[in-house]
Amino acid sequence: MPSGLDSQANSYDVIVVGMGAVGSATCCYLAQRGMRVLGLERFAIPHSQGGSHGFSRQTKIAPYIGSPYEPVILRAYQLWRELMDQSGVRDILLTTGFLDLHPDRSFAAYQQNRGHFEDLQHARIRERFPQFSLPEPYWGAYDREGALLRPELAITTFIRLALQHGATVWGNTEVLDWNADARSVTVTTRRGTYTADRLVFCAGPWTGKLLAKLGVRCIATRMSFGWVWPLRNAKAYLPDAMPCWCLTDDDGIYYGFPMMEDVPGYKIGLHWYGEPVDPDAFDRQPNAHDEALIRKGLARYFPEANGPLLGLRTCLYDHTVDDVPIIDNHPELPRVTLCGPLCGAGFKFVPAYAEMATDLATSGKTQVQSDFLRIDRLLKKESVG
């Protein structure tokens, strides 16, 4: 049996299961607070089996002003910048601006926060961002603080800092069994059995299996995205000319990113509910339908970028029935904290969610208001339904 812990006792203050984005951040924050932390990941770190890969993610502030997410996104921005300062890794967050495009000017998310974004009429969009081929009457909301996040780089940075602060982290180590009682928690892997005072689950798309015993329904869905090389004027898709963007369409919400130096091509995807799947048994291989989804958006809105395909990837989203994440202690096991599902749009909030999970595991309450993320809302809904 592989070991590597022969000289150490297998007892910790906190065990974190799942070293994706929020798990790696939680492990880091716990270690920075002086906790003896064990992080466990069934795949390599980082990996492309869940929802924390793909080289780029979006973040923005304006859509969340005036909503319960406002203090969460503001704290997340602060923590992303602290991560870059602490690590010296400056390109985890690249400010590009964020352009939200919608056919209806009364787009609900922006009605309560005027002044936090730039209101762009159709003609102004065409003048400022000629890469977009938009029919009338599209309207745009431009958030100057919008940015591109680097998921794999963020995860590896969180892990490195966690290790430097004394955490123990094991990749390629699947949890085979776990138990929690009034005194402690126990986690069993092929490497051995570990005990701790607290257990934090950051299981991503696998959270549904964890919550099934509570009657809380969560689903995982298969999504895809790809990269193409523009047919002409590739410079127009670089960060100094192209923001991160979302575009509401009858098929869903197309989204994209400026081209990056270390990843060839212009990235585009379709944000929709996806195909429900078992995260342990589905076809991860990209297919012709996946390409057709992005080709449709490119043909409609970016005909000059609709060039050769450079790559397709699949990922998993995870959803609650109300598409609001769960960050809370387990309702029946007070030593267990749940951090997920994050509902397909959680990466931008990752450090704030991780700080909440860390707070719950260490003090039982969060610094940032998080009542809207508690699991009891779903227990009530399920019992009524």
Q: Mind listing the pLDDT tens digit for each residue in 192-203?
A: 999 999 999 999
116 falls in which pLDDT band (50, 70, 90)?
A: confident
112 falls in which pLDDT band (50, 70, 90)?
A: low
* Sequence-separated (6 or more) residues with CB below 8 Å from residue 151: 21, 46, 52, 53, 54, 55, 56, 57, 347
109 falls in which pLDDT band (50, 70, 90)?
A: low
pLDDT confidence of residue 43: 98
Burial of 19 (0-12, 13-18, 19+ CB in 10 A): buried
pLDDT confidence of residue 7: 35
321-340 pLDDT tens trace: 999 999 999 999 999 999 99
The reply to whether the predicted model has a pTM over 0.75 is: yes
Contact between 319 and 327 (Cβ < 8 Å)? no
pLDDT confidence of residue 275: 87
6-24 pLDDT tens trace: 335 799 999 999 999 999 9
**Percent of the chain surpassing pLDDT 70:** 95
Q: For the chain, where do the domains classified as CATH 3.30.9.10 start and end?
A: 95-148+219-320
Cis ω before 308 (30° cut-off from 0):
no
Q: 11-52+152-215+325-384 is classed in which CATH architecture? A: 3-Layer(bba) Sandwich (3.50)
pLDDT confidence of residue 2: 40
CATH no., domain 95-148+219-320: 3.30.9.10
pLDDT confidence of residue 381: 58
